[in-house]
Every structure is written in structure tokens, then in C-alpha cells.
Amino acid sequence: METVTPQHFLILASLLFAVGFLGVVIRRNILLVLMSLELMLNGINVALVAFSRSGANMDGSLFVFFIMTVAAAEVSLGLALLVAFYKKRKSIFSEGMSLLGN
């Protein structure tokens, strides 16, 4: 690799994180919010692997493994909660989740 430096990868990681954050803020469909959360975690993973490679240290790559595990658990639980929510409210949009506010 000649001209692509770790900085390029870090800027890309922050762009991925920002796009995922945009999705979390503007979408009301909870499925899309969960997908955007996955995108944010992917941005973190890219940054971790770039640091791990540029520092010639394995720890960052191992952390990516744990982040993937936690993300899989988070998605499965989130989708199960979404199905339970849909059973009660017949909706998957976040404005239906206002029971505590009333």
C-alpha cells in the first residue's frame, strides 16, 4: 500500500458512522433504525482494524470479534422485541412507543 494511509481508513470509518447515525436519527421504522445501528458498528470495526493493522497489534482485531458477537446478540433481541411490539400495537414505527410519555 503506497498512498492509502490509515488516515484514509479512519475518515471512511467516521463517514460510515455518520451515515449510520443519520439513519438512527431520521428514520421512524424501527427495522431501519436497527440496520443503521449495524452500520455504525461497522464503522467502528473498520477503525479498529485499521488501527490494529497500522500498529501491528492484534488486540484491535480481536475486539472486532467481540463487537460482532455483541451486535449479533443485539440484533436478535431487538428483532424479537420488535415482533412482540408488533403483536401488541400492529405497527413497527417508533411513534407508537410513547406509552411511558402518556
Partner 1 sequence: MSMVDFLFYVFATLSVGGGLLMVLSRHPVPAALFMIVSLVGVAALFVLLEAFFLAILQVLVYAGAVMVLFLFIIMLLDVGPQGGKAARIKLFSLVSGILLVGMLVVVLVELSQAPDTSVVDPSTSWPELAEEATANEYNLTFSPSSKSFGFGLLAKYMLPLQVSGFLLLAAMVGVIILSKKFSNTDPEEG
Residues 11-70 that bind partner 1 (CB under 8 A): 11-12, 14-23, 25-29, 31-32, 34-36, 38-39, 42, 45-46, 49-59, 61-62, 64-66, 68-70
Comparison of 25 and 101: residue with beta carbon closer to partner 1: 25
84 is an interface residue for partner 1 by CB under 8 A: yes
7 binds partner 1 (CB under 8 A): yes
Closest alpha carbon to 30 in 74, 94, 87: 94
What distance in Å separates the CA atoms of residue 45 and residue 72, rounded to the nearest whole number? Answer: 14
3-16 burial, b at 16+ Cβ within 10 Å, e below that, comes to eeeeeebbeebeeb
Establish if 97 lies at the interface with partner 1 (CB under 8 A): no
